[in-house]
Amino acid sequence: MNDNTIMISNINDFLFCPLSIYFHNLVGNFDKMMLQSTYQINGSHAHKTIDTGTYSSRSACLQGTEVYCEEYGIAGKIDVFDIESGTLTERKKKISRIFDGQTLQVYAQYFALKEMGYNVKKIRIHSMDDNKNYDIELPENDIKMKNKFDDTVLEMRSFNPLDFRQTNEQKCARCIYEPMCGNSSLES
């Protein structure tokens, strides 16, 4: 890994708003209860069993495992990978629809696991609140989304915050960093 490594968790954030990554790193270790939205707090709580390694005791189940993909220069953690079935699962607190950022995040995990020698046969996102699974096409079966992944990684590497202005008011309205941001699309 080097200074140019992209964190897998930042991919979804980048598509939401590239500046949110800056503000997230700026506030760093401040009290999460003050800076996280209810959605983020619930999401952190939902990952507790993964982060503590208590989701499963099966030896064929990787959980909270750090992964790295040299080809894309990406690193992070997976939620759950069942080695026997080849199923990669990203767990979310509540899913009502799948956003591109969530798909690209699991694609990053997929590419890292593949490069590490694992046979990933299936990708899914699990909604914990309603216990539903949403299957995600493998990158080789969804060329449009695979190209979006490639483009997003390139955009992340060349992003210049001075050239960016958020134009989506809904994103700004839902962003916990909006009060600190000079590029908000919300009227003051």
Q: State the Cα–Cα distance between residues 161 and 19, nearest whole angstrom.
A: 7
Beta bridge partners of 6: 74
In the structure, what pLDDT confidence band is assigned to residue 104 with cuts at 50, 70 and 90?
A: very high
**Per-residue pLDDT averaged across 76-98, rounded?**
95
Nearest to 63 by CA among 45, 51, 74: 51
What is the DSSP code string of 114-143?
Answer: HHTT----EEEEEETTTTEEEEE--GGG-H
Residue pLDDT, tens place only, 13-37: 999 889 888 888 888 766 555 555 5
In the structure, what pLDDT confidence band is assigned to residue 41 with cuts at 50, 70 and 90?
A: low
**Per-residue pLDDT averaged across 107-111, rounded?**
98
Please tell me the predicted confidence (pLDDT) of residue 39: 56
15, containing H or E segment: helix 8-16
Q: State the Cα–Cα distance between residues 3 and 145, nearest whole angstrom.
A: 27
Q: Which CATH topology does 6-180 take? A: Lambda Exonuclease; Chain A (3.90.320)
**DSSP state, residue 93:** S
